[in-house]
Amino acid sequence: MPTCLYCQHGNPPHQSDCRQCGMPLPALAERAGERRQRRFLWFCITLTLFCVTMFFWLPRSIV
Ligand SMILES: [Zn+2]
């Protein structure tokens, strides 16, 4: 049972907003944060692969 962070009112499961004050419940906020975290992880992986590819692909000049 998700409890509202703002008014501590208990809400039924699968409820997106608090029934008492209308603020978004923590369960959905956590899920959104998790999705954002996964997107950030994929961004890091892509960036790393790009850097490695460029490191081997670009010609290196010896100074
Ligand atoms: Zn509330």
| Number of compact structural domains in the chain | 1
With H, G, I as helix, E, B as strand and everything else as coil, classify residue 14.
Answer: coil
What backbone phi and psi angles, to 5 degrees, belong to 26?
Answer: -60, -25
Task: Tell me how far the alpha carbon of residue 13 lies from the centroid of ligand 1, in angstroms.
Answer: 14
Express each pLDDT in 35-44 by its tens digit.
888 999 999 9
Task: Tell me how far the alpha carbon of residue 25 lies from the centroid of ligand 1, in angstroms.
Answer: 8
Task: Tell me how far the alpha carbon of residue 16 lies from the centroid of ligand 1, in angstroms.
Answer: 11
Tell me how far apart the alpha carbons of residues 61 and 56 are, in angstroms, rounded to a whole number.
Answer: 12
| Structural domain boundaries enclosing 12 | 1-63
pLDDT value for 31: 65
Express each pLDDT in 10-53 by its tens digit.
988 888 889 999 988 876 556 667 788 899 999 999 999 999 99
pTM of the model: 0.45
- Count of CB atoms within 10 A of residue 5's CB? 13
Question: Do the beta carbons of residue 9 and residue 18 sit within 8 Å?
Answer: yes
Task: Tell me how far the alpha carbon of residue 21 lies from the centroid of ligand 1, in angstroms.
Answer: 4
